[in-house]
Structure 1
Amino acid sequence: MAQNDIQRFRAFLKTANLWNGKLAGVQQFPLNKLDLSHLKDDDILTGFPTIPVNTVLGKRAEYYYEYCIKQSSNYELIDSNIQINVAKITKGELDYLIREVNTNKIYHVELVYKFYCYDPDVSEKSNYLNEDHATELSKYVGPNKRDNFVFKFDRLVDH
């Protein structure tokens, strides 16, 4: 693993949440809930996944997140990327099923890691967010203007 990979991983660990707690009923599962306090640089070098060079941001985040769950002392990975099929048709995918070690409570975590820019001219309505939240959060846009936070959030809730 190159020094660059460690720097990217550390940056991933420092990524701020877009909201805290619940937003329109969706509970945030912050990365800092995973106890990684025991990890040192030498530990990161051992068992870190090999990530292809041209891996896009979201896919790279999946590698990092799964590694974090596997290294966590308070959660364990049950499974990841679980296909949901109905009558041989793929309806969706569950990103991660994890178990809290002390309570045995199981969590379904959908990882959303996006790069957004702020565009003050965008405004979109939401089926789930109140008007103030939708107005502000729709201004966070991805590479194409249709790919904004509100669109993705509504899709997450719907699916």
Structure 2
Amino acid sequence: MDSSVTALPTFDLSVLILPNELDFQLPTNIRLGHLAEKIVSELIQASTNYKVVYENSQIIEKQKTIGEIDFIIENVKENKIIHLELAYKFYLFDPTISSEAINNWIGPNRNDSLSEKLEKLKTKQFPLLYHSITAVNFDSIDINRVSQSLCLLVSLFVPYAFKTKVDPAYEKAIKGYYLDSKTFISLDNVEKVYYLPSKKEWGMDPSQNEIWTDYKSIENKIATSIQEKQALLCWQKYKETYLSFFIVWW
């Protein structure tokens, strides 16, 4: 997502000059956010125009961690140092919250939001670079030479049958829709098959999935999740069409 939304300088992964074939091993026992960090780290290191100088650097003051800096990277062709923060998020659009679109993108369980994330980046994450203790951690670089950028990778979802046009700045990140379980059940038919990906699989394309099942096989898991107030991502295959959507409890 670019600076027209975030009001922060943007680092686009498309600037990385990468070999035609990439081959790296990814850990299987880490959370989705850390998996995204690992992938981005591997891409930067595989590129010919950037390198990772520091990664996941904890800033510690008086034996207390006051924050963490995701990446310090270098554009080796231009000799430029960048403090790069990475965020990989899934947000749903609730038009009832505010007249300002930026305030209406919330987490699937309504306990976080895009606007809160951006505020944290602006007031905590990026200023951390200039904390008095940070320079000690990064003694091989001149902090005053470091620029700052955000790589915000987002998947956005709008309400089912949502007719209002979304701002073009968000539109390209829309991956699907969300609905409640009652609506989901009403749309089911015998030709549709489903898969409920684990959170680590959320970043995959549904068309890559090979395991599909009917509604009856996932009925209990959906009911339990709704009761526990946990939204579910669901993939659907219908004939040759694949869809991705959240089933929400609210």
Q: TM-score, normalised by structure 1?
A: 0.71
Are 1:151 and 2:116 an aligned pair?
A: yes
Say which of 87, 108, 116 aligns to 1:112.
87
Contact 1:83 1:90 in 2 (8 A): yes
CA distance in 2, matches of 1:86, 1:153: 25
Give distance in 1, aligned partners of 2:97 and 2:67: 29
Who is 2:26 aligned against?
Answer: 50
Task: Write out aligned runs for 1:28-107 (5 A).
Answer: 28-36=10-18, 38-40=19-21, 44-45=22-23, 48-52=24-28, 55-107=30-82
The answer on whether the counterparts of 1:80 and 1:95 sit within 8 Å (CA) in structure 2 is yes
State the one-letter code of the partner of 1:31.
Answer: L
Give the share of equivalent positions with the same residue, in percent. Answer: 34
Q: Which amino acid aligns with 1:35?
A: I
> Within 2, Cα distance between the matches of 1:88 and 1:111?
25
Aligned partners of 2:14 and 2:60: how far apart in 1?
Answer: 32
User: Structure 1 counterpart of 2:82, which letter?
Assistant: Y
CA distance in 1, matches of 2:91, 2:54: 29
Residues 33 and 99 of structure 1: is their aligned pair in 2 closer, same or farther, counting only changes over 3 Å?
A: same
- The separation in 2 between residues aligned to 1:101 and 1:149, in whole angstroms, is 32
Structure 1 stretches lacking a partner, 5+ long: 1-17, 124-131
**How many pairs align?**
124
When Rg is computed on C-alpha atoms for both structures, the one with the higher figure is 2
Name the CA distance, whole Å, in 2 between partners of 1:29 and 1:21.
13
* Per-residue CA distance 1:54-100 (angstroms, 9 max, x = gap): x4332221111000011011001101000111222111000001001
Give the number of the structure with larger relative contact order, counting CA–CA contacts within 8 Å between residues 6 or more apart.
Answer: 2
SS, match of residue 63 in structure 1: helix
* Matched-pair contact (CA < 8 Å) for 2:5–2:102: no
Please list the CA deviations of residues 5-44 of structure 1 after superposition, one character each: whole Å capped at 9, or x if unmatched: xxxxxxxxxxxxx2246843x21111112111x232xxx2
Q: Which runs of 5+ in 2 are unaligned?
A: 125-250
Paired amino acid for 1:19:
D
Q: What is the SS of the residue equivalent to 1:138?
A: helix
Q: In the aligned structure 2, how far is the partner of 1:74 from the partner of 1:83? A: 26
Q: Whose strand fraction is larger, Structure 1's or Structure 2's? A: 2
